[in-house]
Structure 1
Amino acid sequence: MSATPTGPSVPADQPAGGPSASAGVALPDAARPDRVVPTWTDPVAAQASEAVGGPWGRHAVIGRALFWTPLRVCLLFTTSVLAVAWVKQAPCSDGNWAGSVQYTHLCYSDTVPLFGLHGLDTLAVPYLDSAVEYPVLIGALMLLAAWLGRGYEAAAGAVGLLPQVPAVQSYYVATCLLLSLCALLTTRAVLGTSGRRPWDAAMVGLSPLLLVHAFTNWDLLAVALASLGLWAWARRRPVLAGALLGLGVAAKLYPLLLLGALFFLCLRAGRLGAWLRAAGAAAVAWAAVNVPVAALAPENWSRFFRLNGSRPADPDTLWNIALTVSDGRLFDGPLAEGETPAVLNAVVAGCLLAVAAAVAWLTLAAPVRPRVAQVAFLLLAGFLLVNKVWSPQFSLWLLPLAVLARPRWRSLLLWQATEALLWVPRMLWYLGTDNRGVEVEWFFLAVTVRDAAVLVLVALVVRDVWHPDGDVVRTSWPGVDDPAGGVLDHAEDAVTLRPPGAHRAPLSSGVRPEPTSAG
């Protein structure tokens, strides 16, 4: 028999001073706050709160702050982490990388060397005046930062109080400010998508991954657009969601996978009409950005796609480890400079199709329809694990999805610790053993540990999907189905792969599902 809960239960390991003196006793409706309290539900948050007096008290007032709302606190967390990230990057900001300072100080960023390489120092327009190996919106962000940097130089020349800095530094500062805005938008979008769990956005704002890779490349633009797209979907605005995801694809291709996740879920729920509206808006938004550039500079516009086909396995991928261990004999064997690894590309494509098929099967066969963030995270994590390219900053793609899929501090921090630590042997390997760097084996060990951490997180999310009564989002509040689901929220199943007799009570009614006995 199942029972409808009357409120969030106090966890068995609730510290003294928590909401109830007796573990496992539910709060009455009148005493329940209007949002999930992290120090009541997460052991890491509860332990961390001891530094400021312990978990939130049962009779403490919630929702009465005039200024320090959850949104503003989470944005403050994000701003603080970005400030520390800027301090870390400061040694590289002036473009003087003598003595390999970019490696010794762990402050390497693609944005600095590409300033002169792509003619941004002369305000060359990406694609029209120079070939850029990034999607169109990234090129637009690069040019905007160059314009802002040039504007600062003009202002510094007119106003004697402003410091004069190298052109690359003013450009880099402008780039970091624009990326910081993207990080703040990502935090806002995650908070808006999390429903009654607004404090989950703090896991984005206080992220070690954000600290290390916020300014490594321009990926935060795509992360912000994708996160805003999921927020629009959660607010039942599929056309706006599709447009934002389409713009995200115009910055990085990975938001296309989010549309794939929504397709699997809409297929199960019989809501393909909403998905078609989102997909159509995404196509229109992507075309509006890309078609003019493709028409004016087709060769430079297509460079991004050509490079993705011809590039070899990235250093921190399992494919590169396999190639190194086999002395380059696997797949295509030794390749000439610029030669396309056709066999590797085919193997990776097959693995990507297998990942998509596995996630689709899980989506349709799960006892209860998975949440949007769960399916999107699994699809994207699988893509990164089997893809031949995993640049360090690509892990930022996973951050908002991981927070929404499984908002538990311990597992998220352990995964992000491996991502942050991977940056150290990577920089020391680039430094070279002649300059007191490390051998490649240390780098490969860190890559393996990172991949293992991602696989553990994937396994935990799959467990939550297969046993939804253990999903912290669905069990933290009565009647919660999917805060990010939008039109999928509380939707009935239309297409499933569950065998007859395997029905479970839907969580949308506030009932925890239990398997029925055969016969």
Structure 2
Amino acid sequence: MAMRTRALLALAIFAALLSFVKFSPCQDTNWATPGQYIHACYSDLPSLFGERGMADNKWPYASDTNSVEYPVLTGLVMYATSFVAHSPISYFNFNAFLLALLFIGLVFIVYRIKPEFTYLLPLAPAMIASLYINWDLWAIATMMLAIYWFDRKAYLYSSIALAVSISTKFLPIFLLLPILFILWRSNQIREIFKYAATTFALWLAINLPFALTTPTGWWRFYKLNLDREADWGSLWLAFNHLGLGLANLNYLSILLLLIGLTAFVIFLFEVKNTPTLASVAFIVLAIVMIASKVYSPQYVLWLTPLAVIALTNKKDLHAFWIWQIAETLYHVAIWQHLALFTGAAFGLQQGGYATITLIRIAATIYLAWVLIKRALAARNTQGSLFDLLFEASKPYP
């Protein structure tokens, strides 16, 4: 056991250092374009240091037009770390150090959940490539703690961790769907209300001071996501680039999300035994990201640990690696495509970028399908939901 933990620690430290080396060429040029895209070392950390007033230690939600475009705890991290930095380089290095510590901690949280597959996390190439793009690991670490505690029935700790994660990045709110289903299927009706109420109350307690004192700045994150057009990495932008532009994007993305979540609920009803949150969290967040109007390059940081803890059989490892290869290919593709807009002599054209986006989405769907198929191997034969939906309409003899 001690040897395994030491090996994982070494792997995690090596991955964190390797990722730092991957981002280091940009420090030599102070993240100048097009070099930061050509070398795939772009990061929001130094970019937003100046653009959002962190260089002057400005309160992140004070401006009505230029506030931080993230939930409040990410804004607090950005603000607090600005006091120990005096340049984009020192700001990046200090935040990267904290993110490296979070990544190492994340590896050991995953180890507590799924020890037999934890080695995949620090070896995942797309994970290594993306560690220092943004502050997402702050939210991912607390999300993984919420999953860990929930599956061990420490519901109070789990709901607190989830509220903190949602207040850091909003994505984990979608985990409430499988959480409430699992509690309902386990006949823990009281826990449903306690879990939901605790999560909402703590989220409100964290957010209310910001919403009351700087309402426009606080609302900016939510407004940007509501008003967003087809953006980088999304299915919708790929369609646009391939000449299949679609109107009413908000309605279409919400419709696709509802279809996906409905299918997910049907899947939950179909599994024979009550699933663990660890086994289904990847599927629900993959659905959300596929339907979303944007897929930021660092989103793979969310999905990779969830994919690792969802694995149950070595026969499914091929799907994990196919997906990681597709994500790594996409990581290169987006930066080479963006390089074209900033004066690079060469880069990836629109059609190629759209094609690789669709390949990444297809690989995500494939991995989700492999996990679903494995879970359905032991199907609920005591009158399944499929029977209710499709068999009940047949005429009686």
Question: Normalising to structure 2: TM-score of the pair?
Answer: 0.90
Please give the alpha-carbon distance, in whole angstroms, between the structure 1 residues aligned to 2:57 and 2:344: 38
Give the distance between the partners of 1:303 and 1:494, measured in 2 at CA.
48
Q: Does 2:366 align with 1:456?
A: yes
Query: Is the contact made by 1:216 and 1:393 (CA closer than 8 Å) also made in structure 2?
Result: yes
Alignment map for 1:258-297 (pairs within 5 Å): 258-297=175-214
Q: How does 1:43-192 map to 2 (within 5 A)?
A: 63=1, 65=2, 68=3, 70-93=4-27, 96-98=30-32, 100-128=34-62, 131-150=67-86, 167-192=87-112
* 1:369-423 Cα distance to aligned partner (Å, 9 max, x none): 3332232221111111111111111121111111111154432222111111112
Is contact 1:204-1:403 (8 Å) kept?
A: yes
**Structure 1: any 5+ residue segments left out of the alignment?**
1-62, 151-166, 332-342, 470-492, 501-519
Residue 257 of structure 2 is matched in structure 1 by 352
C-alpha RMSD of the superposition: 2.3
**3-state secondary structure, aligned to 1:427:** helix
| Paired residue total | 381
Could you tell me whether the CA contact under 8 Å between 1:93 and 1:173 is conserved in 2? no
Aligned partner of 1:210 among 127, 135, 156: 127
1:393 equivalent in alignment to 2:298: yes
Give yes or no for contact 1:103–1:427 (8 Å, CA) kept in 2.
Answer: yes
Structure 1 contact 364–495 (Cα < 8 Å) conserved: no
**Correspondences of 1:251-400 after superposition (within 5 Å):** 251-326=168-243, 328=245, 330-331=246-247, 343-400=248-305
1:242 correspondence with 2:175: no
Aligned in 2, Cα 1:184/1:279: closer, same or farther, shift over 3 Å? farther
CA distance in 1, matches of 2:79, 2:240: 37
1:323, 1:499 → 2: CA distance?
A: 39
CA contact (8 A) 1:95 1:168 kept: no
SS at match of 1:302: helix
Deviation at 1:207, TM superposition (A): 1.8
> Is contact 2:234-2:293 (8 Å) kept?
yes
- 1:305 deviates by 0.6
- The answer to whether the Cα contact below 8 Å between 2:146 and 2:162 also exists between their aligned partners in 1 is yes
CA-to-aligned-CA distance 1:441-486 (integer Å, 9 cap, x gap): 11112112111111110110110111049xxxxxxxxxxxxxxxxx
Q: How far apart in 2 are the matches of 1:88 and 1:411?
A: 26
One-letter identity of the residue aligned with 2:361: D
Distance (whole Å) between structure 2 residues aligned to residue 497 and residue 141 of structure 1: 45
Mapped to 1, the partners of 2:49 and 2:180 lie a distance apart of 39
Alignment of 1:470-481 (within 5 A): none
Q: Aligned in 2, Cα 1:119/1:94: closer, same or farther, shift over 3 Å?
A: farther
Structure 2 counterpart of 1:177, one-letter code = F
Q: Tell whether the 8 Å contact from 1:267 to 1:494 is kept in structure 2 after alignment.
A: no
Question: Hey, what does 2:385 align to over in structure 1?
Answer: 497
CA distance in 1, matches of 2:107, 2:197: 27
Match of 1:30 in 2: none
Cα distance change of structure 1 residues 438 and 323 upon mapping to structure 2, 3 Å threshold: closer
> C-alpha displacement at 1:269, in angstroms?
2.1
**Matched AA of 2:125:** P
- Alignment partner for residue 405 of structure 1, among 305, 310, 335? 310
The 2-side partners of 1:282 and 1:402 are apart by 24
Taking the aligned partners of 1:286 and 1:494, their CA distance within structure 2 comes to 39
Tell me: CA distance 1:274–1:75, structure 2 relative to 1, closer, same or farther (3 Å).
farther
* Equivalent pair of 1:223/1:248 in contact (CA under 8 Å): yes
- SS of structure 2 residue aligned to 1:212: helix
Q: For residue 414 of structure 1, what is the amino acid of its counterpart?
A: I
User: How do residues 405-484 of structure 1 correspond to structure 2 at under 5 angstroms?
Assistant: 405-406=310-311, 408=314, 409-432=317-340, 435-468=345-378
Q: Please name the residue that 1:474 is paired with.
A: none
- For the 8 Å contact 2:242–2:354, the answer to whether it is kept is no
SS at match of 2:69: coil
**Comparing both chains, which one has the higher relative contact order based on Cα–Cα distances under 8 Å and sequence gaps of 6 or more?**
2
Contact 2:122–2:128 (CA under 8 A) maintained in structure 1: no
In terms of fraction of residues, the more helix-rich structure is 2
Please give the alpha-carbon distance, in whole angstroms, between the structure 2 residues aligned to 1:248 and 1:277: 18
Unaligned stretches of 5+ in structure 2? 389-397
Q: 1:368 to 1:199 in 2, by over 3 A?
A: closer
Shift of 1:437: 1.3
In the TM superposition, residue 177 of structure 1 has moved relative to its aligned partner by: 1.1
- One-letter identity of the residue aligned with 1:135: P
Q: CA shift at 1:246, angstroms?
A: 0.7
CA distance in 2, matches of 1:116, 1:99: 16
Higher CA-based Rg: 1
